[in-house]
Structure 1
Amino acid sequence: MTTTRFAPSPTGYIHVGNLRTALMNYLIARKAGGTFILRIDDTDPERSKEEYVDAIKQDLEWLGLHWDKVERQSDRLDRYAEAADKLREMGRFYEAFETPTELDLKRKKQLNMGKPPVYDRAALNLSDAEKDALRAERGNGVWRFKLDHERIEWTDGILGDISIDAASVSDPVLIRGDGQVLYTIASVVDDTEMGVTDVVRGSDHVTNTATQIQIIEALGGQCPRFAHHSLLTGPLGEALSKRLGTLALRDLREQGVQPMALLSLMARLGSSDPVELRSDMAELIEGFDVNRFGAAPTKFDVQDLFPLTAKHLQSLPLTDVADAVEDAGVPADLAEPFWAMARENITTLADLKGWWELCRDGAEPLIADEDREFIAEAVALLPDGPFDGETWGTWTKAVKEATGRKGKGLFMPLRKALTGMERGPEMAALLPLLQVIRARG
């Protein structure tokens, strides 16, 4: 059975980059009728916060990305310890004691000699007595996985055939000196024991994947199918890393972005398929194919979310937005005609309040000097209320006959006088809701 996972660290709020990973894994699982696991990567007790665990769940629920089960890596530390012991017994795990400064000097020396900056495995030559002395001086060392220096190859679901020379990669640190288990081994153990069949993540993990493949094989596990999606950039190709804090999902929600707009964009961005607004999750699932995504950096512009949000809102019945209409102050008896009028003229639901204020309080008339007599004559011809959907047509016909004006010269001055704007909803729908004029009528 197809099993995927999303493994966020609860050290902050999830952002659009995280969402891309979560969504791809979710869609793969759902399309295959499989299992989607939410796995909380909380092995770092210093930085992991329960408030972020709750926030991750809230964000995924807002988007409709419902998981089948939750796992927490902090509950599985004994499993990682057993895996570490197994690697030690196999001679594939060794303790190293270099300080960050010493490692940096080694890297610089190798680069100056034209060599790749790879850890030189000096720790493998330490005697037991030397290790004891270093522990006494510096504390426990880090534990590194000893790579077999051979080519690591796999067929990537997005990048195609990958081949990496393990000799060009440093033996990865799997356990820090303070005992903290790092993602590289925790993820391998979890993926193996939880039966994860497909892993989609960012292309910055390609080298990490290569080392994990060797760890999986060393522990006797089955390698999942890997796919590495492109990284997002800003609209001009700039790095998003410094802006991700402003692209947290909860910030987008606060700005009024609708879930289906965000999902529709992220499910196609960087693929060979055009971005199209989908009406529901079933459509997204049906049309998803990870193999249609490309390797090139993918431009993301947050502004693209707002036309999609507007289009989505236009498709909704009142029942889906009733709370927002009520929150804008619209009386229940006017909610239906108000929504019918406003929905074509909003970008987010927050815009409803402005349209209701116009209906309730009116607007500062926008009248050119040459139109003042015309407007005065037109207002005198306004029929008695209450107004309905026919009032605008009846009134403008009478004004046309009385003044001889027609077309834009007739309609635009009336719109500007009534709304203070040159553009907006159909006046036939808006006029019955303009309470100041209706009260006059």
Structure 2
Amino acid sequence: MTTVTRFAPSPTGYLHVGGARTALFSWLHARKHGGRFVLRIEDTDLERSTIESVNAILEGMTWLGLDYDEGPFYQTHRFGEYRAVVDKLLAEDKAYRCYCSRERLEALREEQMANKLKPRYDGHCRHRTDHPEGQPYVVRLRNPQDGVVEFDDLIRGRITISNDELDDLILLRSDGSPTYNLTVVVDDADMGITHVIRGDDHINNTPRQINILRAMGRDTPSYAHVPMILGPDGSRLSKRHGAVSVMQFRDDGYLPEALINYLARLGWSHGDQEIFSLDELIQKFDVTDVNKAASSFNMEKLQWLNQHYIKNDDPARIAHLLSPHIGALGIDPCEGPALIEVVKAMQERAKTLVEMAELSSFFYRDFEDYDETSAKKHLRPVALEPLERVRAALAALPEWTPEAIHGCVAEVSAALELGMGKVAQPLRVAVVGRAASPGIDVTLHLVGREATLRRVDRAIGFVKGRAAEAGNY
């Protein structure tokens, strides 16, 4: 039997990383077993579902590289199929019409809660045979009143629920619209879903859905309920913990392969291995190895992974991905050094593309202020002569190459009988604004002769000002 999995989000917002992890696990299970992965949009909540949310889900799936073999299917296109199933269940006496008013149901609930009983429908219309014309009704499943529902959860093991804990759930609302539990079951059956991998918040729905499948005479898929993702404070991961939207991670400068790697490891492991290519994940992932306990989202771990992928990726691809982040700073990367050369220089220095863009801005435009600590340490009166000497030497270079720049700094250091750092560090702060950058030769080469000399002149003026304040000039 061909393995078929599905991802079935509701288009009522962005693609949450929790949903993305569920989609990833479903995708990996299908790919590992040579099966099919289906995307289904559960858009029956007409008030909250939006085309913008649908597009956000599709965009997130595309960015992550989670391609689907079938779909996207839309539940709003399948209302006829749901109605046909309900009509068949009614004809077979496996469902019935319930005419109970909202007032009666609310009073029943209040009474049950007052008696400390679990709120549930009492089967008032279960044996009713009349059909009052014009009176609104819902259609309920005739749930078995004895026996149990058992299923082997691929993550949690055997789960047993007594049927007397389940009431006759509504399949069709009074306005004729189908309920979630009905649509999911009909879709899973019609689409041949063999493995339902979803969040553990659906565990309570599973026995109800199994009973619907049994009433329909359809096979039951295998179920795997994935634990939720927690924030650092132990509560469910939400916006208050920071980014939770897949596309927000893209906008924050994360690579899709880093987020995929992180989400795969969030509740699943294969020995001590931390870094996985997509092919390795397909080969080694097993849903039965997913941890039963909830996992906490660790931003530092994600940043570590992201830095690894940035460092080891093709500079041309990183330059392509970095370009919009540079543009967001108001910088045109065409007006300055080649972006791919900047990436080569900065590739090991940033945890995100946003950070790389910010750290690289000095290559394209003058900075406003010196880093206070760097200036205090390196732009002191003692740095005045090294800066003036190296400025003159740089201005006189016949060619502006990294090799020539390095030789220039080395010659000035030797002439002043100073270590390279005593010349290079004041020069670096003068040109970059801080005491950290790639090698001084590569840095100055990419900044360019004109901008370098202009910034050194500014630094010389800054040092002279400090010396005057101190009475040393």
Structure 1 counterpart of 2:52: 51
1:40-64 Cα distance to aligned partner (Å, 9 max, x none): 2123334333333333222211211
> What does 1:302-313 correspond to in 2, within 5 Å?
302=299, 304-313=301-310
CA distance in 2, matches of 1:335, 1:159: 50
Matching residue's letter, 2:70? K
Structure 2 counterpart of 1:27: 28
Structure 1 counterpart of 2:408: 395
Q: Check if 1:291 corresponds to 2:259.
A: no
> What does 1:12-411 correspond to in 2, within 5 Å?
12-70=13-71, 71-99=73-101, 102-124=104-126, 126=128, 128=130, 132=132, 136=135, 139-241=136-238, 243=240, 247-273=244-270, 276-279=274-277, 281-302=278-299, 304-324=301-321, 328=326, 329-331=332-334, 334-351=338-355, 353-363=357-367, 366=375, 367-382=379-394, 384-391=397-404, 393-406=406-419, 409=422, 411=424
1:251-307 Cα distance to aligned partner (Å, 9 max, x none): 22222222111111111101244683444x323322321112112222124564333
1:375-399 Cα distance to aligned partner (Å, 9 max, x none): 3344344461533332454234324
Structure 1 residue 319: Cα displacement? 2.9
Label 1:162 to 1:325 Cα distance change in 2 as closer, same or farther (>3 A): closer
Structure 1 counterpart of 2:461: none
Stretch of structure 1 that moved more, 180-189 or 162-171: 162-171
Structure 1 residue 169: Cα displacement? 2.6
8 Å contact kept, 1:330–1:356: no
Structure 1 residue 33: Cα displacement? 1.2
8 Å contact kept, 2:402–2:445: yes
SS at the partner of 2:37?
Answer: strand
Structure 1 residue 436: Cα displacement? 4.5
CA distance in 2, matches of 1:47, 1:241: 19
Stretch of structure 1 that moved more, 21-30 or 234-243: 234-243
* TM-score normalised by L of structure 1: 0.87
Structure 1 residue 87: Cα displacement? 2.0
8 Å contact kept, 1:268–1:275: no
Gap regions ≥5 residues in structure 1: none
CA distance in 2, matches of 1:13, 1:33: 29
The structure 2 residue matched to 1:428, chosen from 441, 444, 457, is 441
8 Å contact kept, 1:16–1:244: no
8 Å contact kept, 2:319–2:340: no
% same residue: 32
Structure 1 residue 36: Cα displacement? 0.7
8 Å contact kept, 2:138–2:171: no
CA distance in 2, matches of 1:243, 1:61: 26
8 Å contact kept, 2:383–2:423: no
1:358-387 Cα distance to aligned partner (Å, 9 max, x none): 123344563134433443344344461533
Structure 1 residue 99: Cα displacement? 4.9
CA distance in 1, matches of 2:242, 2:75: 25
Label 1:83 to 1:261 Cα distance change in 2 as closer, same or farther (>3 A): same
1:189-246 Cα distance to aligned partner (Å, 9 max, x none): 2212221111100111111011111211221111111000001121211223565995
8 Å contact kept, 1:144–1:175: no
1:89-111 Cα distance to aligned partner (Å, 9 max, x none): 33331233445564454344334
Structure 1 residue 421: Cα displacement? 1.0
Matching residue's letter, 1:390? E
SS at the partner of 2:125?
Answer: helix
SS at the partner of 1:226?
Answer: strand
8 Å contact kept, 1:261–1:277: no
CA RMSD of aligned residues (A): 3.0
Matching residue's letter, 1:74? T
Stretch of structure 1 that moved more, 321-330 or 414-423: 321-330
Matching residue's letter, 1:121? G
The count of corresponding residues between Structure 1 and Structure 2 is 435
8 Å contact kept, 1:344–1:425: no
